Copies of this chain bind each other. A is one copy, B any other.
Amino acid sequence: MINDPQKALADIRMRVQSDLTEFLAAQTRYLGEIGSELIPAAEAMSGFLLDSGKRLRPLFAYAGYLASGGSESDAVIKAVASLELLQACALIHDDLMDASDTRRGKPSMHRHFESIHRTEELSGSAQHYGESAAILLGDLALVWSDQMFHSAALEPSALLRALSVHDEMRVELMAGQFLDIHEQALATQSVARSLKIARFKSGKYTVERPLHFGLALATDDAHHRQTMADIFSDFGLPLGEAFQLRDDLLGVFGDPAVTGKPAGDDLREGKRTVLMAMTHDRANEHQEAVIATHFGDADLDLAGVEAIRTIISDTGAQTHVEELIEKLTMTALEALNREEISPSAHALLTELANISIRRSI
């Protein structure tokens, strides 16, 4: 019985952190035995993963496991912790594709290795070295996530059940990412398309599928699994979209101290979010012209950022997205009012929903 969901989540987060620390230490030793040249790669991954991160996906997965009747398990903690390595792959490759200089307040992976190239006075192009290192470290993170999951000492039947949802989650993630880069290359924006990308790239992958992953680890009762999977979808899909919409707002209005990215970074990158699609839909000719001038300008200064922010606010797009987040969150929370969701599970999932969408801006 969970009396204090905040305390319960903090405890899970600590155990996830401890497992990641241990796994990465072992992998660092392993790589070091292959060659000392690999130590910087292993250390960069540890720095990337251990210094920060909300651990949302492991938390959702473990909450899904507990809510489905699973009992406390160190093996399951290790299995869900592996989702952070998958997320590391997504972020490392995402930053490279977006040409982002920073992540969580530090240089992004390709920039980090670009610096190493300069510091060690290696030969050839530092930029190219950084990009190649980021491609490979993203790949390595993806493989490590599998390895951590598979070596978690799960019950064999639980591991086998979870493989397929794990695979499906990752295919959806890559599909969503591809839709996203394609959207960035289209001449026009569309709210409907942006919402679909948010659903695949982030909604399903951040909330629904981790819950399903935890569910698969918890039970082999097919009927119970189907019932719980539906509840988790009803809860997870709207919450996941709300999560992504919050991310859109943070990318424009977020405090750099909280986001770990420069102010208005999404505007500088010209990221085609639901928020921007709604802004375009509502902008008048003059506002559209201001956006056309500033949006996607890599050298955009704070005045330019402020000019677009004002338009996003003036058109009502910001308010509309805030309202949408509220509405989606209400829908998500209502899905928890089922007899299959115990009071403890209800408390845990509600607290997780709050953490996901009420991140400060």
Contacts and interface: CB of A to CB of B under 8 A. Distances in A.
Interface of A: 27, 30-31, 34-35, 37-38, 41, 89, 93, 96-97, 117, 122-124, 129, 131-133, 135-140, 142-144, 146-147, 150-151, 156-157, 159-160, 163-164, 167-168, 170-172, 174-175, 177-179, 181-182, 184-187, 196, 200
A30 to B, nearest CB: 8
A97 B135 contact: yes
A79 to B, nearest CB: 13
Contacts of A30: 171
Contact of A174 (B140, B157, B160, B181): B140
A215 B276 CA distance: 54
Contact of A178 (B97, B133, B146): B133
Contact of A123 (B122, B186, B196): B186
B164 A151 contact: yes
A122 B178 contact: no
Nearest to A200: B34
B129 A178 contact: no
11 contacts: A37-B178, A89-B139, A97-B135, A97-B136, A123-B187, A133-B178, A136-B177, A140-B178, A142-B143, A143-B171, A144-B171
A178 B147 contact: no
A170 B187 contact: no
Contacts of A135: 93, 96-97, 135, 138
B179 A38 contact: yes
A185 B117 contact: yes
Counted per complex, copies of this chain come to 2
A175 B182 CA distance: 31
Contacts of A38: 175, 178-179
A268 to B, nearest CB: 14
Nearest to A270: B124
Given A96-B135, A135-B93, A167 B143 contact: yes
Top-3 shortest CB links A-B = A122-B185, A147-B167, A140-B174
B171 A136 contact: no
A185 B156 CA distance: 44
Contact of A179 (B37, B129, B160, B171): B37
A181 B136 contact: yes
Given A38-B179, A185-B124, A132 B97 contact: yes
Nearest to A163: B150
Given A156-B160, A185-B129, A187-B123, A139 B142 contact: yes
A184 B160 CA distance: 41
Contacts of A196: 35
A171 B122 contact: no
Contacts of A37: 178-179, 182
Contact of A175 (B34, B138, B147): B34
B132 A181 contact: yes
A132 B135 CA distance: 11
Contacts of A167: 143, 146-147, 150-151
A140 B172 CA distance: 9
Nearest to A296: B124
